[in-house]
Structure 1
Amino acid sequence: MSGDRVLVHRDAALLAQAAAARLLTALVDAQSARGTAHLVLTGGRNGNALLAALATHPARDAVDWAHVDLWWGDERYLPAGDPDRNAVQAAAFLDAVRPLGARVHEMPADDGGSAEDAAARYAAELAAAADGGAQLPVFDVLLLGVGPDAHVASLFPGHPGTERTDGTVIAVHDSPKPPPTRLSLTLPALQRARQVWLLAAGEDKAGAVALARTAPGAAAAPAGAVHGTEQTLWFLDGAAAGELA
């Protein structure tokens, strides 16, 4: 890992705008270097705010969206169209870039089958987009919202999902945050990104950010266990940064 930086912004709105601008530049740079870009999206209030800012950014179409693959780090295992699904909450952004050709890879919805089967289907979709027989494409930017308990994706402190070292996508049961059943990338899969961006705004995130920055391990603070192979960026507002030294 060549860089770990903390970027503190005045408030949550400015954080979203600044992250959106930087993300557009990162995607353009990835396409300039490799022709395509792989971006992993996140939900939650900070992830959704970033995507909303991205959808309306004046430089949005500087990206060749026809050569962008959009993935998800996790999803609530709910029926298609359920308003609590991350993909539904991101509809404004997805509706803006789908017509431009973006390849949107939503995690499967609950169709009555098992979450394990859904996880296997998404793992196969990831593998199909990878080069050289790898299990995953190399993600250019992976977005993660930091929860008030320092969880990321649907990997929660003390939960068995943080212990998985095999595979790329898992079913999460008995989540401490509703809904109880989810799909999530594993920690090794989250580590397969050139850049990892962690987003946190609000006083309720300050303790989690401070804990994660001490790197206590995935069992205690999953957010502190995820790093990009090239860069890790923490996008914070002043309140979320309030307990940092």
Structure 2
Amino acid sequence: MSLLTPPALSIRSYPTTGEVSVALADLFVTLSADAIQTRGRFTVGLSGGSLPKILAADLVKRGDAVEWDKLTVFFCDERLVPLDHEDSNYRLCHEELFSKVPIPEAQIHTINADLLDNADEVAEDYKDRLINVFAAMNSAKFPVFDLLLLGIGPDGHTCSLFPGHSSLENTVDWVISEENSPKPPPRRITLTLPVLNHAHNVCFVATGEGKQDMLKRVIDEKDQEIPSALVQPAHGTLYWFLDDKASAKLTSIDKSDQ
């Protein structure tokens, strides 16, 4: 398949979700090796939804291909529920990935479950955790992740950044609270757009026919009303890993040689 992409943009579509998993694991292995060689560690932000299962499906088989003890993991957003709650992104990632690979627990940065009654305090505490890691790496004004793995919702939201919400206008904070998510549970914290757009690499993963219309608005039409379309890493690479059902309506991909 030929790809029509400008610099720093890579749109990849695969026949099946299984092939998306293999390609995503390949990317993870490659970027982790590069980051560890350059900076001594691999900083990753994970999301929830279907992404952990797609990521883990092939990655857990890679064994020594990843230096797991040099990973530092944060969450791109998190629901303000106990860590063992069914809505917790941490619980989902633990079940699909963390429990199956040797990532040191101390290097997986969760929300402080003792602060759940105050969303702003959870967000401030999570910012402090980011500062502790990225200040030691001489990061810029915002943390610079090696890789952020994102999903896209039916309304085009990513992380817990929703259409029409004031969070999209925040250009200062690293982490903010969201008390009125249109998707339950309503109380969350999320990384902000400036953090997403300072990353070395951002990778959206989307599969299934239900994503077709929204992907067309985001990728082809670049609709600035849609949060996912606002993710444009200024000095990094933006990846889209899709299956062919999700990408069926895109004109940004030349499928003439498939």
TM-score normalised by length of structure 1: 0.91
Q: Which of 98, 119, 132 lines up with 1:115 in the alignment?
A: 119
Give matches, 1:175-214, under 5 Å. 175-213=181-219, 214=221
1:183: how far off?
0.7
Which one of 61, 86, 97 corresponds to residue 89 of structure 2? 86
- Quote the residue 1:150 is aligned against: 156
C-alpha offsets along residues 120-172 of structure 1, whole Å, 9 cap, x if unaligned?
A: 00001101112347554321111101111111101011122212112100101
The answer to whether structure 1 residue 215 and structure 2 residue 222 are counterparts is yes
Q: Post-superposition shift, 1:108?
A: 3.1
Q: Which amino acid letter does the alignment assign opposite residue 215 of structure 1? A: K
Structure 1 residue 10 corresponds to structure 2 residue 15: yes
Partner of 1:49: 54
**Cα pair 1:16 1:50 within 8 Å, conserved:** yes
Paired AA for residue 104 in structure 1: I
What percentage of residue pairs aligned between the two structures are identical? 34
What is the distance in 1 between the residues matched to 2:139 and 2:242?
37
- 1:112 CA displacement: 4.3
Quote the Cα distance in structure 1 between the aligned partners of 2:231 and 2:140.
Answer: 20
Residue 248 of structure 2 corresponds to 242
- Residues of 2 paired with 1:16 and 1:204: CA distance? 19
Q: Distance in 2 between matches of 1:154 and 1:38?
A: 20
- Equivalent residue of 1:31, what SS? helix
* CA–CA separation in structure 1 for the residues paired with 2:115 and 2:102: 23
Tell me, yes or no, if structure 1 residue 129 matches structure 2 residue 133. yes
3-state SS of 1:170 partner = strand
In structure 1, distance between residues paired with 2:214 and 2:156: 5
Gaps of 5+ in 2: 1-5, 252-258
Name the SS of the counterpart of 1:240 in structure 2.
Answer: coil
SS of the aligned residue for 1:166 comes to coil
Partner of 1:30: 35
Which consecutive segments of 4 or more residues in structure 1 shift more than 4 A? 98-102, 133-136
Shift of 1:100: 5.2
| TM-score normalised to structure 2 length | 0.87
* RMSD across aligned positions (CA): 1.9
CA shift in 2, pair 1:110/1:11, >3 Å: farther
Contact 2:204 2:241 in 1 (8 A): yes
The alignment of Structure 1 onto Structure 2 pairs a total of residues equal to 241
Following superposition, the deviation at residue 102 of structure 1 comes to 6.9
| Contact 1:70-1:102 within 8 A present in 2 as well | no
